[in-house]
Amino acid sequence: MTSFEFWTLYTTITLAAITAIYTILTYRIMSHTKKQADVMALQTEAMLRPIVNVRTQHNIDQYICLVIENIGNSPAENLKLTIDKDYFFADYLNSTPDPRWNLRRQIPFVNITPKFAPGERFTFPLIEFTDTVYYNDNIEIQRSTNNHKLDLQYDQKVRPRQFIVSAVYNYGAKCYKEDFNINIDTQAGGIIYTDPIAKQIRSLKGTMDAILKELKK
């Protein structure tokens, strides 16, 4: 091999190695850039997308309520809600449950909501109590309404302590499906804050109703 041939071969190999290294580095830079772009896209989506949240909440009327709310920043489109069990939320005492009060038959669970705006919410009262709710597999449930006690098995049938609410909705071309495990037991034993103003208003309303009843006699 002549000196010219040697240097030609050396130059060719060197250029091939440099090209290979450049190609690998370029690929790594592009991959890193794509990952950064994907992360930024996910962050942007997380900031802009709707987020349908389902939870339980105490309210000042001494109910544990089921609250379905869009806590995101965009409308949830074509929202479909489902619940895996029957739940009769009206006050039934020991009468036969009325199908009209089945949570499954309420409008948000029957019909698809075309647009569920940010901050919009559905609220359903689940169970009423005064200061404390007691749950135990070996005792009856103490409820506040006229101090009635309801059979545990019956209450579990019409008002199960645990159920799943599913939410399916769209945002642009993406579809989200989320399941929420609702456990009323987590609220058992909780103390309800009663708004003193609301309490006074209810007391005054009762007094006025009594006066009007007497005037009508």
Residues 58 and 84 in one domain: yes
pLDDT (average), residues 75-92: 87
Residues 87 and 187 in one domain: yes
Residues 44 and 68 in one domain: no
pLDDT of amino acid 75: 94
Residues 20 and 78 in one domain: no
pLDDT of amino acid 150: 47
Number of separate domains in the chain: 2
Single pTM value for the model: 0.62
Query: Does residue 74 lie within any of the structural domains?
Result: yes
Residues 41 and 57 in one domain: no
Residues 173 and 157 in one domain: yes
Query: Does residue 210 lie within any of the structural domains?
Result: no
What digits encode the pLDDT tens for the residues 166-198?
999 999 889 999 999 998 877 655 554 455 555
pLDDT of amino acid 134: 45
Whether 169 contacts 175, CB under 8 Å? yes
Residues 11 and 84 in one domain: no
Percentage of residues in the chain having pLDDT higher than 90 = 31
Domain containing 7 equals 1-48
Query: Does residue 135 lie within any of the structural domains?
Result: yes
Query: Does residue 189 lie within any of the structural domains?
Result: yes
Residues 15 and 80 in one domain: no
pLDDT (average), residues 33-51: 75
What digits encode the pLDDT tens for the residues 120-165?
999 998 877 543 344 444 334 444 444 444 455 556 778 888 899 9
Query: Does residue 211 lie within any of the structural domains?
Result: no
Query: Does residue 165 lie within any of the structural domains?
Result: yes
Query: Does residue 84 lie within any of the structural domains?
Result: yes
Residues 15 and 93 in one domain: no
Distance CA 202, CA 208 (A): 10
Residues 34 and 136 in one domain: no
Residues 20 and 95 in one domain: no
Residues 57 and 36 in one domain: no
Distance CA 19, CA 193 (A): 72
